[in-house]
Structure 1
Amino acid sequence: MAVKVAVTGFAGRMGRALAEALAQSGQADLAAAIVRPGSSLVGADAGEVTGTGRLGLAVVDSLDAAEFDVLIDFSAPAATLANTEYCARHGKPIVIGTTGFTPEDKEALLANAARVPLCLASNFSTGVNLCFNLLETAARVMGQEADIEIVEAHHRHKVDAPSGTALSMGEVVAETLGRDLAQVAVYGREGQTGARERDTIGFATVRGGDVVGEHSVMFLADGERVEISHRASSRLSFARGALRAALWLLGEDQQGDREPGHYDMRDVLGLKVS
């Protein structure tokens, strides 16, 4: 029996990509398509909204109107907090791809992991999560002798900067080097900035066009440079990863056997080194 997946933020770019990924999946079905309250899409056929073909499933504006096994949430911080609390109350696993949380938001969000399995990731693509492991290695080998800069680019509609993925990359590097990213991050430069301090980690942001997502981390040493980059050409890579995470949270027998806790995509992919 196919897993019933609910998708919030259904009217957005990732909601549409998730609908396509679910249409291609042989393991899961779209069980609920959820948009913000008051949206003009409420009541429309979910398949016609995304162009995947009529499904006979009406778009709704509340989780109370949904029946599902697992929720995938790519919406906005306030909505995601409310949705996570709902899932915790009802014992439903949740996959979270929303970014832009404040530290207080994230603390409140993760408090729910004591009650349900929760997968929170800044990026669900296989390639990006492989890059996290490569960054650990590069930071361990070169980090003390190199200047480290992170450059990211996204489409003109992205509202947060730097991207959640860029920040996660910075956190991986900083933690490997024993640094506190909040203390060493430099977000953009202008004017007479003075010489670069070796322990800092620089971030540069590009916004424009329809760029799906590009990230590069540079380790710049005297005489050589190592660059670890990832470029996404389709949101389907993120959607398929989020669906993979949703199935993983349900356990191998898809009966909710995964223990409550905070997981990320590297747990799902088995990339964490103990």
Structure 2
Amino acid sequence: MIAASGRGHTASPGPLPRLPGPRDHSLCPDSRRNHRPRAPRPALALCCRGTVAKPPYRIRRETVMEQFLHIRVLLGIVLGLAITTLLKGLARFVQHPGRERVYWVHIGWALSMFTLLAHFWWWEFRLVHLSQWSFVSFAFLILYVVVLFLLCTLLFPDDIGDYEGWRDYFLSRRGWFFGIMALSYVIDFGDTLIKGKRYFQAFGLEYPLRNLAYVALCLIAMRTRSERFHKGFVVASLLYQLSWIYRLYDFVE
């Protein structure tokens, strides 16, 4: 309906009221809560009991310390087997002192290996400072421990009935024993590099010369049956090893 004004002009129609649409929440405040557009649900995995698993971005990343403890478990198992082999072998001489004649060069290397294993477990604590672990580093450490385990099994086999005694056995197996020992000192370079270049360089020139000297002496020991050489080698190796540990590894940072 159009009303005429006093001047004879037709009045323009006023704005028509706006009807609420299906998404208009201005008239009903409560409807804002009920008609909010829903956010897309993330893809969630349902567990077998009906509980909802957390999405990947909510899973807390393991700390470096937790990773190191996880890796150290397997290292400890293999290392424990190696120490058990040495202790059981040494106990044989106490249990049956008259049955088998002791060859003190062989005993000297057994003591040297026990010291090396204890030292290995002590210095590997340094690996806690690694900022990131990879499977290559993990596999490398497992290889190192397996090599040490093989050295222990070569020192104390299950049976030496095919040999005249421990002296005959040790000299007959010296090629394998010293060959694997030389390999262990080559692997040791990589183990030290895993802990960082600064850690490697902190040893100075003595460390590479030490490992290279051990490799050279092991190659000589593989070829010679000289009693004088083998006696001098095991005594010098054990004394230097104790000195090395005391001077550089008395405390772990």
TM-score w.r.t. the length of structure 2 is 0.22
Q: Per residue, is there more helix in 1 or in 2?
A: 2
User: If you compute each CA radius of gyration, which structure gives the higher value, 1 or 2?
Assistant: 2
TM-score w.r.t. the length of structure 1 is 0.21
Q: Per residue, is there more strand in 1 or in 2?
A: 1
